[in-house]
A and B are shown apart, each in its own frame.
Chain A
Amino acid sequence: MNQACDILIVGSGPAGLAAARAASRTGLHITVIDDNPRAGGQIWRNGPDTQLEPAVVERLAVLEQPSIRYLPGTRVVAALKPGSLLLENAEHGFVMVYQRLILCCGARELLLPFPGWTLPGVTGAGALQALVKNGLSIHSERTVIAGSGPLLLASAATAREAGARVENVLEQASARSVTGFAAQLWRWPTKIRQALDLATTAYRWNSHVVEALGEQRLEAVRIKVGSRLKEIPCERLACGFGLVPNTTLAAHLGCELQGTAIAVDSLQCTNLPDVYAAGECTGIGGSELALVEGEIAGLAASGQHQEIKALLARRNHWQAFADRVRQTFTLNPAIHSLARPDTLLCRCEDVPFAAMACETSWTAAKLQTRCGMGACQGRVCGTAAQTLFGWDAPLPRSPLVPARISTLL
């Protein structure tokens, strides 16, 4: 049951939606796929209790246009010959043939090991937000948010709105970094409003989680605030140390990477002709940057090049903001040594930190310990090992995600 389209867009977050809207003006046949059951990406995730802003509802409405086919709950399993991808949804596997491809795969959280991080009740920071938006009840639960970056404040706000008691928001960056960042915000006035909306007295800089405590689930956290150690009873710990571009599909296709992100030119084109990329997968930058990059990619992929020039200044404006965020929330080396020898680093194969730390590369560690050979295929532990040990990123192999045998036949 093959399907075909002119432009295939992978991801229906801000970048994917902007790309779809820009490209749809030409009348080309566009398909948008997303592995989530609802569109909007992580930031505009819709759910049973979510009231989306009118501007977001308008952005999502593009998926109802007749020239656009939207396939939720659909994952990319592998690239076949150039111009076709093997996809899978809950029901079946099928091949999608395309002329142009726009990768808007977004980002995942940087999740780093610390004692107790595998206990139920511990999640990523963006993860808690995603779960709450999808209906998780955390009403009256004591919640600690920790890690690094602006996402912590957004996660805390979501938790509070859901009725949780947010005990602390722990930012690992120093007071100097954070206040220096805040002093620069006048350049992006909408961000000042956002920061004021999200501000909380529970916020502590130069602070981090030390250990999650509990037997069968989380019961308390040990934290370090400045130089003081404290223990706080809680039901939830949401801990994320920043964001990592999702580059698995791009690397599998043969796209060049620049650092941890997909390398693109001024038209958002990768080194492969007919493959474009936009949004967080080309570098962490937030929804404003993702929107303008998505629009440029959509215009370029649909041949509307004359429209692009007018967007370049806006892209530069938000790229400058992204650069400031990256400089501010650089990880403090103390975060690299939170894991103890017996802390599991690979959560799929239950491989302890000590077993991996004595290896010299990702491949050696994989061969000796089975790390990265479980269901997530190193998306969590491989990224953690890159951060902690400076190893090269694991090379993706197909199937890119766990798939049914019937899809592969």
Chain B
Amino acid sequence: MIIYLERQPLTVRDGITVAAAVTVTRTSCTGQPRAAFCGMGICQECRMTIDGRRQLACQTLCREGMQVERSV
């Protein structure tokens, strides 16, 4: 399956979450790179723009052609 991270194609296995596919999910307000931290929808570190909507990467399954962008 192919998803697009910052418009670049990324091949991922079926059934995995977006958080499992990306290493850095956002840049913090002081410019630090962040990644999924709690893995269960609490900490919001993995919030990303997925198909135009802000969603949690750890609770979103990859879908063919999905557009994923890091959030600031």
Interfacial residues, chain A to chain B (CB-CB below 8 A): 35-37, 42, 47-48, 73, 90, 108-109, 111, 118, 120-124, 126-131, 134-137, 216-217, 347-350, 374-376, 379-380, 402, 404
Contact = CB atoms under 8 A, between A and B. Distances in A.
Interface residues of B, number: 36
A375 B28 CA distance: 12
Contact of A216 (B20, B33, B41): B33
Given A90-B55, A118-B28, A136 B38 contact: no
B11 interface: no
A379 B37 CA distance: 13
B30 to A, nearest CB: 4
Interface in B20-63: 20-21, 23-24, 28-30, 32-45, 47, 53-55, 58-61
A118 B29 CA distance: 13
Interface of B: 12-17, 19-21, 23-24, 28-30, 32-45, 47, 53-55, 58-61
A109 B59 CA distance: 17
Nearest to A238: B39
Contact of A131 (B20, B29, B30, B34): B20
Given A48-B14, A124-B39, 7 more contacts: A111-B38, A120-B34, A123-B38, A134-B19, A217-B23, A350-B32, A404-B53
A302 to B, nearest CB: 28
Given A48-B16, A134-B20, A108 B59 contact: no
A229 B37 CA distance: 25
Given A42-B40, A108-B38, A37 B53 contact: no
Contacts of A216: 33
Nearest to A42: B40
Nearest to B15: A48
Q: Among the interface residues B17, B37, B59, which one has the most CB atoms of the partner chain A within 10 A?
A: B37
25 contacts: A37-B17, A37-B59, A37-B60, A48-B15, A90-B55, A108-B40, A111-B37, A118-B32, A120-B23, A120-B35, A123-B35, A126-B40, A127-B37, A127-B40, A129-B39, A131-B58, A134-B17, A134-B58, A135-B13, A135-B15, A135-B21, A137-B20, A347-B43, A348-B44, A402-B47
A284 B36 CA distance: 24
A288 B53 CA distance: 38
Contacts of A349: 29
A124 B47 CA distance: 17
Contacts of B16: 47-48, 134-136
B61 A37 contact: yes
Nearest to B45: A347
A37 B55 CA distance: 12
Given A127-B37, A347-B37, A350-B30, A136 B44 contact: no
B19 A122 contact: no
- Find the residue from A42, A122, A127, A347 having the highest chain B CB count within 10 A: A127
Contacts of A350: 28-30, 32
